[in-house]
Structure 1
Amino acid sequence: MEATDLLKKVRQIEIKTRGLSANIFAGEYHSAFKGRGMTFSEVREYQYGDDIRNIDWNVTARFNHPYIKVFEEERELTVLLMIDVSGSREFGTSFKYKKNIITEMAAVLAFSAIQNNDKIGVIFFSDRIEKFIPPKKGRKHILHIIREFITFTPEHRETNISEALKYLTNAIKKRCTAFIISDFIDDDFEDALKIANQKHDVVALKVYDKRETEIPSIGMIKLKDAETGQYHWADTSNRAVREAYSKWWRETDETTRRLFSKCGVDNVSVRTDDDYVKALISLFKKRI
């Protein structure tokens, strides 16, 4: 991609996603994602209804009158965007590929984080960690991240979500909010997800295409696995073939949903031809 085309693309994404962050998500994001804890603010006289557990006994003894400690929520967060860059993200049958939706959603979250004075970092992963951008603040940092979303080319095409989650657990020492954005076409990552969510606040954003849910009847077609490169022939005019595929999708999707629920991970699914704005707002409101 030429430099002028890249700058234009970055600017287009910035204008759209920054506007969404400022006008739609600002309040919901701030309310939905809490700070790391509470910090001491001041001591004041006890008032009726105050929590007696916050009484400062030293000050109370000194003035012979009850005083309580006042705490404020520590708002600053560290946010990690875990971006699936495996081959399957290049699929799409509507106006956008999965990777386009992933890029826009990630940019919206990045701008929302910056507006909330949070640090933002990125982990690109396939079946291994492709690239790590350490968390920082500022518009310049955000634009660097968006450029990476657009231009980054992974070395590998398969998926290993477990490997990405293990990296998150081991590499990020302080508690953070981690958005893992993927189609979750993978298995055997339950243990890694459970451990990661115990240390961090993990949120799953599943992106999929409508054509992944069912196959139309269009005769004999040649299919390519985007991650392995293998080709398969399928007779889509055969009703049994179509029904078997639809059944596989439903069962796989339901298994993933149950896994998120079991691990206590907030999640939302976004189809490439649907409005991801509504999906994100719905997710934020569930957390408030």
Structure 2
Amino acid sequence: MEKKENQPKGHVTLKELHGLQFEASGFSFLPKYKVQSLLAGRHKSAMRGRGLDFKEVRAYVAGDDIRNIDWKVTARTQKTHTKVFSEERERPVLLVVDQSSSMYFGTQQYLKSTLSAHLAALGAWRTVEVGDRVGAFIFNDKEYQQIRPQRSTTAILQMLKTIEVYNQQLDAHHPPLSKTKLFESVFQKIRSSVNHDYLIIIISDLRGLSDTSLHHIFNLKRHNDVMVFHIEDEWEKDLPMTTLSLSNSEKQVSISNSMKKERKLQKKAFEADKELLIDQFSEYGIPLLSFNTKEKGSTQVRNLLKDQ
């Protein structure tokens, strides 16, 4: 079938991801606002960022800030003690990049897999630009590759090359596989390799996310910051009012204009699932940011994470 002019491009290239270095500006992963402002949820939680880390308690010296007096130690020792802080120098970023089969879908300007690759590239370039280390956990339906956080262009290019390889393995002729067990395995591996004080950014459509996977993510949040870049396509939440023939290479189904009830059920189910996800992540102070396949990743990430 001849490719239409507005049909999303199938695969990304290393050159394309490298070029996004020049668009990685105007946003920050260290927001000065509360997480609640990013969500529709009810619970407030401040993001960890560059600031002061507790170092030690020592005897009070004239001129010390009285706001830093440790009253518990002072009461116990009967001598005034003050808390000493050191400046936090960096926070490594781990990009969790979904390049599984369900991501090879898109009816607008981009495929979900393409947008995922673009957001990962933008995040990597931006992180190194501000002086922090960046690593990645890139996975598809069958395998994963973990790249330890580093602070160099060479490391980023290795990461982007891996994303390119995984992205170009995606094939529309194979139906999407269930990701439930895949997600559980991925997040269990991340839990075993990440200690604390990371910023973990999950870039995925989250299809097949189970309670077990959520449990792993919430445990990661205990000692790290976690953000979710949720990628969705217009047709997933609201099928267009036209006759469609959908196929997964094994089965084919037609949806006509007369199937209004089915369309309403599809929209209602999508909205209910999305609201549940937002509430679950919000409960643990995890911002869920929605990205669509219509706009450039750089435009969307700037709008959602404006550099303040």
TM category, shorter: 0.7 to 0.9
Gaps of at least 5 residues in structure 2 are 1-11, 33-47, 75-79
Rounded Cα–Cα distance in structure 2 between residues aligned with 1:149 and 1:269: 21
Deviations 1:52-111 (A, max 9, x none): 239x99xxxxxxxx8966533222222111111211111111221111111111111111
- The TM-score normalised by the length of structure 2 is 0.73
How far apart are 1:203 and its partner, in Å?
0.9
Kindly report which structure 2 residues correspond to 1:108-147, keeping only aligned pairs within 5 A, or say none. Answer: 108-126=122-140, 129-147=143-161
* Percentage identity across paired residues of the two chains: 19
SS in 1 for 2:29: helix
- Structure 2 residue 29 is matched with structure 1 residue 29: yes
Kindly report which structure 2 residues correspond to 1:11-30, keeping only aligned pairs within 5 A, or say none. Answer: 11-15=15-19, 17-21=20-24, 23-25=25-27, 28-30=28-30
Aligned residues: 266
Amino acid at match of 1:136: Q
Higher share in strand: 1
Higher share in helix: 1
2:256 aligned residue = 236
The 8 Å contact of residues 92 and 198 in structure 2, kept in 1 or not, is answered as: yes
Rounded Cα–Cα distance in structure 1 between residues aligned with 2:100 and 2:299: 26
SS in 2 for 1:91: coil
Q: Whose RCO is larger (CA < 8 A, sep 6+)? A: 2
How far apart are 1:264 and its partner, in Å?
2.2
Which residue among 204, 207, 229 is the counterpart of 1:205?
Answer: 229
Gaps of at least 5 residues in structure 1 are 1-7, 58-65
The 8 Å contact of residues 26 and 306 in structure 2, kept in 1 or not, is answered as: no
2:277 aligned residue = 256
Rounded Cα–Cα distance in structure 2 between residues aligned with 1:146 and 1:272: 20
- Structure 2 residue 111 is matched with structure 1 residue 97: yes
Rounded Cα–Cα distance in structure 1 between residues aligned with 2:185 and 2:54: 34
Kindly report which structure 2 residues correspond to 1:79-228, keeping only aligned pairs within 5 A, or say none. Answer: 79-126=93-140, 129-152=143-166, 153=169, 157-159=177-179, 160-188=182-210, 189-219=213-243, 221-224=245-248
Change (3 A) 1:145 1:220: closer
CA RMSD of aligned residues (A): 3.5
Rounded Cα–Cα distance in structure 1 between residues aligned with 2:293 and 2:251: 24
SS in 2 for 1:259: helix
Change (3 A) 1:11 1:276: closer
- The TM-score normalised by the length of structure 1 is 0.77
